[in-house]
Structure 1
Amino acid sequence: MVPFTNLAEFQEGIGLFWRDPDLLLEALTHSSFSYEHPGHRHNQRLEFLGDAVLEIVVSEHLYRRLPDAPEGDLTKIRAAVVCEPALAHVAREMNLGTYLRMGRGEELSGGRERPSVLADALEALLGALYLDQGLEVARWFALQSLEPIISATLAGKGEADYKTRLQELLQKRSPEPLRYVIIKEEGPDHNKLFTAGVVYRGKVLGRGTGRTKKEAEQHAAREALVSFERVEQHH
């Protein structure tokens, strides 16, 4: 069980404090923990709510930020911003996986780093924040967390050839080539999950997962672009 001292540490890390700590604990509880410890509520209902909050917040933000964009473009951009790899990246940035309560089997199989688990937990966290402090605080938290991803996505107008964009960005800095490596393969042959890394000057700039190697590489490039966007915002 995650002790409340760790919950306090998590809240300090993200700069938000829940009035009802039980809501936060529920948001951080994976269903596998509830199966192994009956009586503990898991985060799937909060995930359902957080997904709806995220959609309305991002939709309104894009509507106001892009007053001339047609509906089709807004839909594509929103899909890129709230997709599983993007949400998992945000969750990793706040070290969310460390604070999740999960069953032993799920943890041993790498659940704390699984993109679907992290993305779902982030949505649950947003749902819990909405119930605890209302839409405006939830909006602030969501947009602050997602801004680097929104900006990186808008730079490509929602089209997800992140590998090309990363290549172009790095070529402006140095002619040294970048390369993609497959770090891990999980699952049976008919349902594999690949983890790719993009390497530049001997350093891993980003990691990504996908059902194909190409998809994993695109997500790795996306994570690298988001990291560059965050650095630019702080300069």
Structure 2
Amino acid sequence: MTDQQANSERLQRALGYQFADKSLLQLALTHRSVGGRNNERLEFLGDSIVNHIIAEALYRQFPDAREGDMSRMRASLVKGDTLAEVARELDLGEHLLLGPGERKSGGKRRGSILADGLEAVAGAILIDSDVAACRNCVLTWFRERLDLLSLDGADKDAKTLLQEYLQGRRSPLPEYELLGVVGEDHEQQFYVACRIAKPVLVVEGDGSSRRKAEQAAARTALARLETHGKSE
């Protein structure tokens, strides 16, 4: 197996889907900076199907929710920042195909490119299979975020609370770095660092997924900041 094939297999395991037509996956990962044949059409399709799947999930999960409530929750899940977060958790950036200029400017880490790539992958899964298979994948990618939602928004996750805490004090947003992954595929433990520039603070967190590790680190950082604020 070549390195390219191994990388493709690793990504497909992370996505939770094996492509029958591998060229669709390659097309979904190809940014427009590469040339005329790129992922923009798949992104267009993926944007629609992700919105549909999330809307349907919210409709079923919150039978008493009003239209406005569901619109608010859907917007929080399908906005670019959230899509980029999901893409990072899937390590999608390392598999994107970019033109020389985008590669040099750090395109694999750019939120808009990651978000577009994730939507393109969802579109590719839809074309390669059907709505049911695409739904299974998208709901798996968003499951933890869906589980954290509530109608009153009172139980915001730690990362959101930390971001709001820092924004309220005009401080730079936190940065998260994956430090390592330990264990077999079915029983992995992720270790993440959360770095804050002002006030200077570095904490670590761990969990059974990258998102859970980031949440754990954010909870620790928030607790430290709140304790520090009370002592001032």
What TM-score, normalized by structure 2, do the two folds share?
0.69
Partner of 1:131: 127
Partners of 2:80 and 2:60 lie apart in 1 by 24
Query: Contact between 1:111 and 1:117, CA under 8 Å: does it hold in 2?
Result: yes
Percent identity over paired residues: 37
Distance 1:12 1:156, change over 3 A: same
Q: How does 1:19-38 map to 2 (within 5 A)?
A: 19-34=20-35
User: After superposition, what is the alpha-carbon deviation per residue over 1:22-60, rounded to whole angstroms, capped at 9, x for unaligned?
Assistant: 11010010110126xxxxx21010000001000110111
Instruction: Show structure 1 runs of 5+ residues with no match.
Output: 36-40, 169-178, 185-195, 206-222, 230-235
CA shift digits 1:106-164 (9 cap, x unpaired): 01111000000000000000000011111111111111111222233437629989778
Letter in 2 for 1:148: E
Counterpart AA for 1:202: V
The answer on whether the counterparts of 2:195 and 2:203 sit within 8 Å (CA) in structure 1 is: no
2:215 aligned partner: 228
Question: Partner of 2:63: helix, strand, or coil?
Answer: coil
- Structure 1 counterpart of 2:125, one-letter code: L
Q: Would you say 1:87 and 2:88 are equivalent positions?
A: no
1:202–1:93 Cα change, 3 Å: same
After TM superposition, list the pairs within 5 Å mapping 1:153-168 onto structure 2.
Answer: 153-154=149-150, 157=153, 165-166=161-162
Distance in 1 of aligned mates of 2:105 and 2:152: 35
Distance, in Å, in 2 between the alignment partners of 1:67 and 1:106 is 44
Give the structure 2 partner of residue 63 of structure 1.
Answer: 59
Classify 1:4/1:163 alpha carbon distance in 2 versus 1 (closer, same or farther; 3 Å): closer
The aligned length equals: 190
Using the TM superposition, give the Cα deviation of residue 182 of structure 1 relative to its aligned residue in structure 2, in angstroms.
5.4
Structural RMSD (CA): 3.9
Give matches, 1:92-111, under 5 Å: 92-111=88-107
Confirm or deny: 8 A CA contact 1:149 1:226 kept in the other structure. Answer: no
Q: How does 1:187-202 map to 2 (within 5 A)?
A: 198=196, 202=202
For structure 2, which runs of at least 5 residues remain unmatched after alignment? 165-169, 176-193, 217-232
Query: How far does residue 10 in structure 1 lie from its aligned partner after superposition?
Result: 1.6
